Amino acid sequence: MLSQSSTPDALVAEVNARVGAAVARPGSRRDSIDGVAPGIVATPQTATAVAAMLAWATETGRTAVVRGGGTKLGWGAPSGSVDLVLSTAAMNAVDEHRHGDLTATVQAGATLAETNAVLSRHRQWLPLDPPWGDRATIGGIVATNDSGPRRQRHGAPRDLIIGMTLVRADGVLAKTGGIVVKNVAGYDLARLMTGSFGCLGVILSVTFKLAPVAAASRTVAVEFSDAARCGPFVADLLAHSATPTALELAIPPTTMLVRFESVEPVAVEQAEQAATLARGLGGTPTILIGEDETAVWQAHDARLFDREGTIVKLVILAGELSSTLAWLDDAAQTRQLDYEVTGRAGLGVLYVGLGGDVPRQASLVTALRERIPAGRGSAVIQRADPELKALLDVWGPVGDGLRIMQEVKRRFDPTRTLNRGRGPGGL
């Protein structure tokens, strides 16, 4: 470790000199990650500048955190002090939209909303709808493999990426994959980078396969008196050849949102069939269209993510939905905690919001983890106060692959420059 006591101004001068441009400024409270302000913030405009900056950080033993829109900086384990925040904000173009091929290459700093505004000119979109799409960037969404309700149909970033360019911790620029939708040449480093929480390299640009924008949409909102009806509703719906693009749960009160997107008569027909099924299970369905439909989805997205409080990402097997919800209700009541659940009922990917006494929250998460057999799910703390993060490992068990994950980290970033300690298993 060299000159760790340098002042922010000295660091700014060092980085600017290395890059050959005025890209850095001292960090401020507004740049804080888990309550700690970084030494400096740099906003490079080119791949070469990113490479120079990372090479500098690695050579001088500095730590660096990559920031896109800053919407998910609180995710992951606390990192302690950070020397350099590397912002991708100045690299935000949609490089190429090959609409005839249904693919696009987008720079890491572009927001999802900006990206989709460009793609919509040809009635296409990047079919991802994670929280905060107006601010969340492509780089951040990919680094966290984050997705939203329409994962039911379109999958997560992992399923849509066909190529990537990145800068390694040592400043070397590399690419993987390409611009074609089918390609098995070489290792798929893009999948390795996706969901790696920025601990292996800095994503510069990503090439995705896209989806056409559907001609029509309908959403069926169903209220059930009892959460136990959700599991059978999901199973019945999927067994009846319905092809929803989203199949969401929200509790309390027990509500399900089922979205159908296709040509108009198909969306209408499937929505009506879903409503009939819901009535058969004692639910009260409403079919929504237009502004009402948009509003119900906005409210659903905002419900957990636009509020303060703990969010646990709970992944289970879809067939265990009812039993998990029953356990959760009992566990929260016993501990006198408030809770809410939203998420992908058809996929078993749920988000649990918790409120109340922090040690009791920790106790609930611990009990939840103990309940899940190895390989059959996980409970990862996605967002929490430092107090809760101090009580629990945010990631929980990573399994017996941890040693090889650490080995991959060691090869990519031997000095642990990037996102030190924040990734799964303390990577």
> Between residue 210 and residue 239, which ones bind another protein under the rule CB under 8 A?
211-215, 235, 238-239
x-marked contacts with another protein along 98-117 as a string, rule CB under 8 A = xxxxxx--------------
Per CB under 8 A, contacts with another protein among 17-46 are: none
- If one asks whether residue 148 binds another protein (CB under 8 A), the answer comes out as no
- If one asks whether residue 145 binds another protein (CB under 8 A), the answer comes out as yes
Q: Which is nearer to another protein, 41 or 200 (CB)?
A: 200
CA distance 266 to 264: 5
E strand residue ranges, 201-333: 201-209, 211-212, 216-223, 246-251, 255-262, 284-288, 310-315
Q: Which is nearer to another protein, 31 or 188 (CB)?
A: 188
- DSSP 8-state assignment for residue 137: B
**Cβ 122 to another protein shortest distance, Å:** 8
Q: Which of 405, 415, 416, 421 binds another protein (CB under 8 A)?
A: 405
Q: Which residue has the tokens 């999802």?
A: 112
Q: Which is nearer to another protein, 53 or 142 (CB)?
A: 142
**Cβ 168 to another protein shortest distance, Å:** 6
**Cβ 126 to another protein shortest distance, Å:** 15
CA distance 27 to 34: 14
Per CB under 8 A, contacts with another protein among 340-369 are: 347-349
β-strand 103-107 against 201-209: which pairing, if any?
Answer: antiparallel
- If one asks whether residue 427 binds another protein (CB under 8 A), the answer comes out as yes
Q: Applying CB under 8 A, which part among 31-39, 246-254, 323-331, 410-418 lies near another protein?
A: 410-418
Q: Applying CB under 8 A, which part among 67-75, 220-228, 293-301, 372-380 lies near another protein?
A: 372-380
Per CB under 8 A, contacts with another protein among 375-394 are: 375-378, 380
Q: Which of 14, 269, 272, 385 binds another protein (CB under 8 A)?
A: 269
Q: Which of 242, 289, 326, 391 binds another protein (CB under 8 A)?
A: 242
Closest by CA position to 195, among listed 254, 266, 146: 146
Amino acid at the residue 88: T
Compute φ and ψ for 311, nearest 5 degrees: -125, 125
Amino acid at the residue 18: R
Q: Which is nearer to another protein, 27 or 424 (CB)?
A: 424
CA distance 293 to 199: 38
Q: Which of 1, 29, 253, 400 binds another protein (CB under 8 A)?
A: 400
Per CB under 8 A, contacts with another protein among 172-201 are: 172-176, 178-189, 191-192, 194-196, 200
Q: Which is nearer to another protein, 178 or 309 (CB)?
A: 178
Sign of CA dihedral 280, 261, 145, 376: positive
Closest by CA position to 2, among listed 86, 62, 56: 62
Give the number of other CB atoms < 10 A from CB of residue 299: 12
Q: Which of 35, 282, 359, 401 binds another protein (CB under 8 A)?
A: 401
- If one asks whether residue 319 binds another protein (CB under 8 A), the answer comes out as yes
Compute φ and ψ for 360, nearest 5 degrees: -70, -35
Contact 187, 99 (CB under 8 A): no
- If one asks whether residue 425 binds another protein (CB under 8 A), the answer comes out as yes
Closest by CA position to 99, among listed 7, 224, 211: 211
- If one asks whether residue 121 binds another protein (CB under 8 A), the answer comes out as no
Amino acid at the residue 198: G
Give the number of other CB atoms < 10 A from CB of residue 295: 11
Give the number of other CB atoms < 10 A from CB of residue 33: 22
Q: Which is nearer to another protein, 36 or 180 (CB)?
A: 180
**Cβ 272 to another protein shortest distance, Å:** 11
**Which residues are CB-contacts of 227 (< 8 A; sequence separation ≥ 6)?**
251, 254, 322, 325, 326, 329
